Chains A and B, each alone.
Chain A
């Protein structure tokens, strides 16, 4: 937070700002002091904002042509693809945009895990982030239902049936969600409504996420607090704006590759077959970004416990700030945590892979081991590690490793350990 009082230069500006201090807010956002050692992993907040805006704009346009009715939805999507001017482009941006959104959010989450951004005093930022992530999954799932293809229909059937695992009231809850005795037109219309609503809820939460961020300020790669703002920070504009902008351009190249060269590679061919309640596709898989959780669901042989395990896998993240007992934020100074971090990354990737495979034989065994390890990481390794681990001494300030003659964090670390 900038500590100086801001007064607009012009008389009109002062008149307006006294009545609604929007200019003060704008000034805060441009002058916002940012740790000067932020690396490119910190650019994904901006990229995610771009993704959200892209989804809202393209979604708004698609809603002008889409018809939310079980008899017409599938054809209206084909109509968008074939007849609507640039409809193919807008739909491919929206469909691949969802994948890009998740790609960016996973990098953003794993950046927090590596650098300990979820730790005190940033727990609220983290928890709001997890809520946004949950809403993203809900929005993505319901959006996938709207084209009313085979995967839409059966994905909706399988996911809504998860609620039937709730003891006693489960069946009633599922009927209530469906508005009938199976996934049908009432389900489609309500999913469309909610799919339209959720992005705006996310937008509101993003404002809170950034607000909560601007109270303590950014974490940074060495994970220590800003000691002297004049030395350790740079103003958000132009320094971070330019860096974020450059990263966004790189990201858009990847995005454009999918949109123009491989628009269907992340989707499933079965979704170009219209929904048929009598035939289940031979192999139902969710979108790639939900696969690790799907693998956890299938690895438990009991229906209720499978659902509980899947939900716990997500919700356990919300209490992560209290499971990780280490006071040191950045993995750079936690040699053991750093290794466990990469094992967790591998574990999640393995879960994603087996989630896409049939749940049998060796795949099932791997899924079970990986599921067990996932929970072991959060429930056992993190709490114990924080108490047992011998960490590397922290630099005195954000500036110190830079002035110490080594801009490279690994070198700085090596130097530190030698001093030790």
Chain B
């Protein structure tokens, strides 16, 4: 740096660059943001599902926001297994009590947290789910136990509208 005093021209250059950069960013942002989910995609944010015909030990898969959601009505045995696991055995420690408020019902995104495949029901070393793509094993609470997936399958926001209907989203 020279110890020359800044002139009026230096000020003009700096001001021009600064305004130019802000202007360019303001123009680029709409071009980038247009790729984010649009209003019509966001409008499909919730789905209601009738679960009255679902028997214990069975799973149904419904589509929510383009993604599969597993709704499983668990057997007592599955619940007991899921609740007896020690936290230190888990890759992503989460209590089954927190994942399934009503122990009979497990609602979660049927999306493997590794690279987004749909895991298969009643498969794998932990009798929960098994992802055929890269071999992730999930337990009866949908928690990752073995394989490359980093997290448990995600539990979305949902509620029982009445005894037979679950609203997801």
Contacts and interface: CB of A to CB of B under 8 A. Distances in A.
A157 interface: yes
B134 interface: yes
Contact of B37 (A181, A277, A280): A181
A279 B150 CA distance: 22
B67 to A, nearest CB: 5
Contact of B115 (A162, A178, A184, A277): A162
A293 to B, nearest CB: 14
B107 interface: no
Nearest to A304: B150
Contacts of A282: 132
Interface stretch (B58-66, B72-80, B82-90): B58-66
A359 B66 contact: no
Chain A contact-residue range equals 35 or more
B57 interface: no
A161 interface: yes
B114 A280 contact: no
Interface in B25-75: 32, 35-38, 41, 61, 63, 65-68
Contacts of A281: 132
B81 interface: no
B116 interface: yes
A175 B116 contact: no
Mostly, the B contact residues are loop
A358 B116 CA distance: 17
A181 B63 CA distance: 11
Contact of B41 (A179, A183, A360): A179
A180 interface: yes
B67 A280 contact: no
A161 B116 contact: yes
A304 B132 CA distance: 20
17 contacts: A157-B116, A157-B117, A160-B116, A161-B116, A175-B36, A175-B37, A176-B36, A177-B35, A180-B37, A180-B65, A181-B67, A182-B66, A277-B67, A280-B118, A298-B134, A303-B149, A360-B135
Interface of A: 154, 157-158, 160-162, 164, 175-184, 186, 190, 277-284, 298, 301-304, 306, 358-360
What 4 A-B pairs are tightest by C-beta distance, nearest first?
A: A182-B66, A181-B65, A161-B116, A161-B115
Interface of B: 32, 35-38, 41, 61, 63, 65-68, 114-118, 131-135, 148-150
